[in-house]
Amino acid sequence: MRLSPSARLRKLLEDREHNPLIVVGAHNALFAKLAEMAGFKAVYVSGACTSLERYGLPDIGLITATEMVENVRCITAATKLPVIADAETGYGNAINVMRTVREYIRAGVAALHIEDQVQPKRCGHLKGKMLISIEEMVGKIKAAKRVIKEEDDNIILVARTDARNAVGGGLEEVIKRLKAYVAAGADVVCSDVLLSKEEIRRVVKEVKAPVAYHPTGLSPRLSIEECKKLGVVSVVFPITPLQVEAVAVWNFYQELIKKGTQAQIEIEEKIKEHPLGTLVKLFEVGGLSKFLEYEKEYLPKEEVMLKYEKSFGLMPEEEKTEKNKNKY
């Protein structure tokens, strides 16, 4: 029997021998498909990346649950990989969390995380963070777990604390909070802005629960092997794909302003041998050949023959052979 994405993700996280599970950020459907093609086993949808990529807004709590769920739904529809999604603070109190969790599950996530910031929240690595009480966050976790049990008991709930660099926070507060969140039912925990290997080691050792880590912002860039030795269950790279994209597009725009069409000629020459280096290859990420096969299978034969005998244009490489031409 085929396992659901949530069940597959749970098995991956429980496979301690091969952990940490590497999870890459995929802030849109295209990037999710690329992650799957590259061989990753799970993807993460960042609220920060969704805010910036889809709406041009910084990660300071400006997007809504509806906007985030819309993006998540597009991504889960595009990939077979388990999708882990950022559910911010749950977009309100424990009652709001129940609605949020239900909508995320019905959008197809395998896991989601909520955090203990005061709303409106902000990126965990920015200044100016405030925390809700432990009691309020525990209520959110319990409310989320109730919905998970009703919808899909395999869904993984990740509880994040921002206590390390928030008002009234510190490492001791991180550990105290994460212990309470595990007791309330969180499956996995994480803390933003852990500042050293020793801090990560203490969290893993003292919290005694699966701990995820992402080497972003103020946190050290530890190797996967170092994270494995520390006992981290998953290493997440949420922001870097968006940075790579933004820098590459920025650089091309600068060249286009200076050189005009010559900039396009130069970039096409540079990438022509790349797996994504032509228009058709790019369309193949979306399954162009598959849809052409669907045409031949389901459309009237005469219509397909007319479309491809009386027009010209680009086609996938395999469609250029005489053998395939004779199929029409």
| Domains observed in the chain | 5-238 (3.20.20.60), 272-328 (no CATH)
> Is residue 319 pLDDT above 50, yes or no?
no
How much is the average pLDDT of 290-300? 95
Could you tell me if 161 and 115 are in contact, meaning their C-beta atoms sit under 8 angstroms apart?
yes
Q: What is the mean pLDDT of residues 124-138?
A: 97
Query: How do beta strands 234-237 and 111-115 pair?
Result: unpaired
Find out whether the peptide bond into 20 is cis, omega within 30 degrees of 0: yes
Convert the pLDDT of each residue in 241-261 to its tens digit. 999 999 999 999 999 999 999
Contact 265/273 with Cβ under 8 angstroms? no
pLDDT digits (tens, 9 = 90+) for 195-238: 999 999 999 999 999 999 999 999 999 999 999 999 999 999 99
pTM, two decimal places: 0.93
Largest alpha-carbon pair distance within the chain?
73
Long-range contacts for 286-290 (Cβ within 8 Å, ≥24 apart)? 286/30, 286/33, 288/316, 289/316, 289/318, 289/319
pLDDT of the residue at 146: 98
First and final C-alpha spacing in the chain: 37
Inter-residue contact 132 to 159 (CB < 8 Å): no
**Residue 23 has which token pair?**
């999870």
pLDDT band, very low/low/confident/very high, at 318 (cuts 50, 70, 90) = low
Provide the mean pLDDT of the chain. 95
Residue 326, pLDDT score? 47
Q: Tens digit of pLDDT for each residue in 20-78?
A: 999 999 999 999 999 999 999 999 999 999 999 999 999 999 999 999 999 999 999 99
317: confidence class by pLDDT, cuts 50, 70, 90:
low
For the segment 131-159, the average pLDDT, to the nearest whole number, is: 98
pLDDT in tens, 76-106: 999 999 999 999 999 999 999 999 999 999 9
pLDDT digits 0-9 by tens, 260-279: 999 999 999 999 999 999 99
Q: Give, in degrees to the nearest 5, the angle at Cα 35 between 123 and 37.
A: 175
